[in-house]
Amino acid sequence: MLHRINKNIYTTLITRLLIIFAIYTASRVLFYTFNYQLFSNLSIQSFLLILLGGLKFDLSAILYLNSLFILAQAVPFNFRFKPKYQSFFSGLFFVINGIGIAFNIADIAYYPFTLRRTTFSLFTQFINEKNLGQLAVKFMFIDFWYLTLIFIVLLFTMVWLYKKTSTIAPIIRHQKTYYLLSTLAMLLIAWFTVAGMRGGFRHSTRPITLSNAGEFVSNPAEINLVLNTPFAIMQTINTQPLQKVNYFADSLALDSLYNPIHQPINKNALFNKKNIVIIILESFSREYLGGFNKTLEGGKYKGYTPFLDSLKNVSLAFNNAYANGRSSIEALPATITSIPNIKEPYILSYYSGNKLNGLPSLLAHKGYHTSFFHGAPNGSMGFSSFVKMAGVQHYYGKTEYNNDDDFDDIWGIWDQPFFKYWANTMSTFKQPFISTLFSVSSHHPFEVPVAYKNKFPKGTLPVHQTIGYTDMALRKFFATAATKPWYKNTLFIITADHSSVAYHPQYQTALGAFAIPMLFFDPSGGLKGQVDYPVQQIDIMPTVLNYLNYNLPYFAFGKDMLQPQPDDFVVNTSDNSYQITKGNYVLIYNNNKTEALYNYRDDVLLQHNIESQYPNISKQMEKYLKAFIQQYNKHTVDNKFSVK
């Protein structure tokens, strides 16, 4: 019986996959051994955590590469035990996994030149090389002969261990039972395979990407130890690497138009140790707030946020604010690190391992306690990994909340109890602190807790009642916060992650689709008023730093909203087009040419393209956009998101 268990096709399949797991782990150890000088101050404890975290990414890569092999072993038919069938798929196993191992070993040599795991861009990078064969021979047998030898040893080890395993056909006494159980086993294997590929099966969890490796490291460079090269290549197949551009050969001319390196306004000013509290509201379009739409529906529009409307009256309100992306995953980098979404979400790009200097990390150096709250299951959206890279020391999610009675069964803890938990937890922090919360309840399927059914206006869209619920949760949060000793020494920033479904036509345009609310509320009365010039999420970080009299240079793609300059602009991307908003105009730019120019204040529905009528305005806006693109691409590709 033990003999048959050992040769059972399912236990054999698991054993063979574990062989590849062991080789991937060995490859990771070798990767570190040969490049240890590039990972300074890595403790044994940190390295063990990296090895543990690496298993998650190895699992995904190995399951992707071996999906056909796994299916071939799991099909509920007896031909899978035929010698020729097994021989064919054994060969496939050796070839596919041999290629995966080869990429891992090759990256040992390639990494010191790129400081990144190899991505799919490698294939496009060398596509026009005429002497690839000659170069390959030189690298494999002359320059890095020792790595070729290591690869051969690992390949031989894989084949040798594989052949130590075997499978035999079972003795079938009840065919119907056998085929039923085999079919169920195949479905179960398929379920676990897909779950392993994507890193989990929670509704609120995105498939894992390169940025998720940040969860297991404290230094962005160490992300490359957690990852494996096959995973990095597969994750970037559909991404286009940024290309440096040279619109402006003169760096001084470029910096005069747009420069992401910010210098302190007054180096000698006393640093203001205010607490910073940032509230990012899920799917809160500007359209939903009556206070931001005084002229909508002939001045009769009330909106769905009575509390936020009242708060707007005692805050500095930015009436012309825009998100830098259209999804939740794009909002966090923009808001706390001043990195906008350009073409693809930063967290999903293979630049996501770049070294960051965000609000949390910069303020941590000033003695701030840093935290992030998100009521979703821990790890959702890859936020826990990203905020760690941005300098957040303490992450609070569904796990830390530790009461599933308040779980909405889909996205996370209902906003009202989680906001209360946030307010109370902040009271345990040493001041000054910076804390960010990302809400969850105003999300599809737009449900509210049973106790609040029919308590809020249904409006014209399903989202409206959940907007009313979260607005109520905010009211209760501020009522609780106002009783805390830290309240009056706090600057509250309230904004949205992105716009959402719109009812009114002006919020369905290329520009209106990015419109969000933005409030700065200082209980001490330091900030009040109405601002109508265009601003964006990436402006939050430099505005906060300047408001605190931060006295060191820092990197941010945004600008200080409290000290507007004539050259300030807002930038978004939609599909493959850029949008730049400056003054009264928005310009649509695609394929290196202007497609349209609109006066969005006079033409709120963007129906009249005036580009031919105002060529000088178009050229001026193009110039600023090109300066932004050149600086963004250069700093992103060169991994220079910080000031040394």
Chain segment 51-76, per-residue pLDDT in tens: 999 999 999 999 999 999 999 999 99
Query: Does the pLDDT value for residue 462 go beyond 70?
Result: yes
Q: Which two tokens stand for residue 260?
A: 């992401």
In the chain, what percentage of residues exceed pLDDT 90? 70
- Burial classification of residue 325, based on how many CB atoms lie within 10 Å of its CB (0-12 exposed, 13-18 middle, 19 or more buried): buried
Q: What is the pLDDT of residue 177?
A: 87
Bridge partners of 434, per DSSP, are: 276, 370
Q: By C-alpha distance, which of 434, 424, 387 is closest to 272?
A: 434
Region of 297 please: left (phi>0), alpha (psi -120 to 50) or beta: left
Check: CB of residue 225 under 8 Å from CB of residue 32: yes
Bridge partners of 531, per DSSP, are: 318
Query: Does the pLDDT value for residue 83 go beyond 50?
Result: yes
Integer angstrom CA distances of residue 122 from 116, 209, 210, 229: 11, 18, 16, 11
Structure confidence at residue 121 as a pLDDT band (50, 70, 90): low
What is the C-alpha separation between 131 and 171, in angstroms, rounded? Answer: 56
Four-CA torsion 73, 74, 78, 83, nearest 10 degrees: 0
Chain segment 174-197, per-residue pLDDT in tens: 888 888 999 999 999 999 999 899
Overall average pLDDT of the 256-268 stretch: 89
More confident position, 41 or 622: 622
What is the C-alpha separation between 121 and 115, in angstroms, rounded? Answer: 14
Check: CB of residue 383 under 8 Å from CB of residue 372: yes
End-to-end CA distance of the chain: 65
Overall average pLDDT of the 252-276 stretch: 91
Q: What is the pLDDT of residue 125?
A: 53
The full length of the chain comes to: 644
Query: Does the pLDDT value for residue 469 go beyond 70?
Result: yes
Residue 243 φ then ψ, to 5° = -115, 135
| Residue ranges of domains in the chain, CATH in brackets | 2-235 (no CATH), 251-258+567-644 (3.30.1120.10), 274-503+513-562 (3.40.720.10)
More confident position, 179 or 152: 152
Chain segment 521-531, per-residue pLDDT in tens: 999 988 999 99
Query: Does the pLDDT value for residue 41 go beyond 90?
Result: no
Geometric angle at alpha carbon 123, from 642 and 159, rounded to 5°: 110
Structure confidence at residue 111 as a pLDDT band (50, 70, 90): confident
- Relative to beta strand 275-281, strand 490-496 is parallel
Q: What is the pLDDT of residue 2?
A: 41
Compute CA 136 distance to the chain's CA centroid, rounded to the nearest angstrom.
36
Bridge partners of 593, per DSSP, are: 590
For 44-49, the CB contacts below 8 A with 24+ separation are: 46/217, 46/218, 46/222, 47/225, 49/216, 49/217
What does 315-334 look like in DSSP terms, one character per residue?
Answer: SEEETTEE-S-SSHHHHHHH
Overall average pLDDT of the 597-608 stretch: 95
Chain segment 496-520, per-residue pLDDT in tens: 999 988 999 999 998 999 999 999 9
Q: What is the pLDDT of residue 199?
A: 82
Query: Does the pLDDT value for residue 554 go beyond 60?
Result: yes
Overall average pLDDT of the 106-129 stretch: 73
Overall average pLDDT of the 552-566 stretch: 94
For 394-397, the CB contacts below 8 A with 24+ separation are: 394/369, 394/370, 395/371, 396/371, 396/372, 396/421, 396/422, 396/425, 397/373
* Average pLDDT across the chain, whole number: 90
Structure confidence at residue 1 as a pLDDT band (50, 70, 90): very low
Task: Out of 259-263, 341-345, 514-518, pick the least confident.
Answer: 341-345
Query: Does the pLDDT value for residue 632 go beyond 80?
Result: yes
Q: By C-alpha distance, which of 452, 440, 373 is closest to 407?
A: 440
Q: By C-alpha distance, which of 247, 10, 227 is closest to 107?
A: 227
Q: What is the pLDDT of residue 239?
A: 72
Compute CA 318 distance to the chain's CA centroid, rounded to the nearest angstrom.
26
Query: Does the pLDDT value for residue 324 go beyond 90?
Result: yes
Check: CB of residue 262 under 8 Å from CB of residue 355: no
Overall average pLDDT of the 283-295 stretch: 95
More confident position, 219 or 612: 612
Query: Does the pLDDT value for residue 240 go beyond 60?
Result: yes
Chain segment 404-430, per-residue pLDDT in tens: 999 998 889 999 999 999 999 999 999
Chain segment 195-224, per-residue pLDDT in tens: 899 887 665 567 888 878 888 887 777 888
Query: Does the pLDDT value for residue 162 go beyond 60?
Result: yes
